Amino acid sequence: MPTTQIKDPVHGYVELPDALVEGVVDTRPFQRLRYVRQLSATHLVYPGANHTRFEHSLGVYHLGRTVFENLRRQSYFARGATADELEEIQRTLECACLLHDVGHPPFSHLSEGFLDEGILRERVAETGLVDAFDAAGVGGAPLRSANPHELLGCVIIVEEYGDALRAFDVDPFEVCAYVLGYSLAYERGEPWQYGVGAQLLHSPIDVDRLDYITRDNYMTGAGVLSFDVERMVDAYTAHPEEGLALSEKALSTIGNYLEGRIALYMWVTQHHKSVYANRLLQAMLGEYEAETGESPVTVDGILDRELDDNGVLERLRVAARENPDSTLASMYDRFRGRRFPATCWKHRIALADRIGSDLDGGEGEDGGEGEDGGEGEDGEDDGEGEDAGGGRAPDLDEFTAWLTEGDDRLESLLADALDVPAHEVWIDRSYVPAYDPDELEDIPIAYGGTTRSVGDWGLYGDRAFDVPIPFVFVPDGTKRRAIRVLREAFEREVGEEAPA
């Protein structure tokens, strides 16, 4: 079968059958992914983060095909399934890997909330996918819990690629099921290997995560990940009862995989400037809707006009120019000029220092931050020392919970106290995926004929990972007052309940 090679900076040459290139890759809906950045606005912090959903999809395809071909060479895996059945699973998996992100709206996850869920679910029902899930005995739970980009992807897969997939002898409904983490064939009673095919694309150890972890680290240049991808790929195995798992080969690298993923969230996507850039972009989308009366991102816009990052940015530019005195214009100017204020604290150590509590609950005096310069292009220290003030030192967990639970109210409080516009004060919680020792039950390790989780094997003991913190963004020159206002508000509201 004639093939095409595409050079990928992460995986080297990615080889695809020409038929798949012509039927999927070189089509307008798939090419749209060239213009949807993987990390939204994070390139404003890490300039190299310009990679897109397009190359990520090719990487997921490459890893999915490689892992499944390795599985097929394991005699245990091939037992009970015919060669034709394994070929069918591989064809389905390859197509699903390529198309799993085809429904991503502009700026990836940032704009999903602007998609009309009612319209989206109507379009899904029109495809016949709901009936297909019901007929297989799966029911509607997977579709109800799916993300908007997954549902939109299913519509595109059936409507735009249905004929091409059937020409490859692939069921488009089964491709959609893989995207949502299911196999309709397996649910109908076909061999267990069908279920493994779906797990390879949608599970705690899926190839989707494997690609974006390595790709985000490489393309940003963050260097927070030291991870043997080839050994991980070779470690995949499967079991009739447990499904997809990792063999003992992964023991030397699974720790780097878990910690590297957390490090990427903490220091790349949840770098304080990344959080601000993405929050600002999302707020601009909301202001566009308020200013124009139109949603900046719609289901029809993606399906019919192939809306991407560039198209939405142009809408924002025009609306800001036509409404020069609007909040949107102010935000757009800030975004294009990259005038991002610093947060009141950049990490947990600074948070403890600024609110007057150390990590063990003691009293702090000096609020100066001594960050190094290893965080994107913003490692600078603003040199603004804070005096935490008197009163009782807050407990960190209690303070962060209070701060995030009342973020809207406290944003208004800060804006009034600082005498600044409301849109210049934001409280935003960083997000780091939880992989504490007690929460490793979903990473299966197969050894000696049994499969147990990383947590069950006790591989991490009492190892604890960092936890998310809230960021507080205020205009430059107001951080000291902002911290004092928050401390005073916390002491008023929590009072004697705050531990000494």
Query: What string of H, E and C letters represents the secondary structure of the chain?
Result: CCEEEEEECCCEEEEEEHHHHHHHHCCHHHHHHHHCECCCCHHHCCCCCCCEHHHHHHHHHHHHHHHHHHHHCCHHHHCCCCHHHHHHHHHHHHHHHHHCCCCCCCCHHHHHHHCCHHHHHHHHHHCCHHHHHHHCCCCCHHHHHCCHHHHHHHHHHHHHHHHHHHHCCCCHHHHHHHHCCCCHHHHCCCCCHHHHHHHHHCCCCCHHHHHHHHHHHHHHCCCCCCCCHHHHHHHEEEECCCEEEECHHHHHCHHHHHHHHHHHHHHHHCCHHHHHHHHHHHHHHHHHHHHHCCCCCCHHHHHHHCCCHHHHHHHHHHHHHHCCCCHHHHHHHHHHCCCCCCECCCCHHHHHHHCCECCCCCECCECCCCCCCCCCCCCCCCCCCCECCCCCCCCHHHHHHHHHHCHHHHHHHHHHHHCCCHHHCEEEECCCCCCCHHHCCCCEEEECCEEEEHHHHCCCCCCCCCCCCEEEECCCCCHHHHHHHHHHHHHHHHHHHCCC
Q: What is the pLDDT of residue 241?
A: 86
Sole residue written with tokens 């995989």: 257
Query: Does 407 have pLDDT greater than 90?
Result: no
Query: Does 418 have pLDDT greater than 70?
Result: yes
Percent of the chain with pLDDT strictly greater than 90: 69
Domain map (residue ranges) of the chain = 3-260, 342-432+467-500
Q: What is the pLDDT of residue 358?
A: 44
* Winning range, highest mean pLDDT, from 75-79, 312-316, 372-376: 312-316
Q: What is the pLDDT of residue 355?
A: 84
CATH number belonging to domain 3-260: 1.10.3210.10
Least confident of 159-168, 338-347, 413-422, 455-464: 455-464
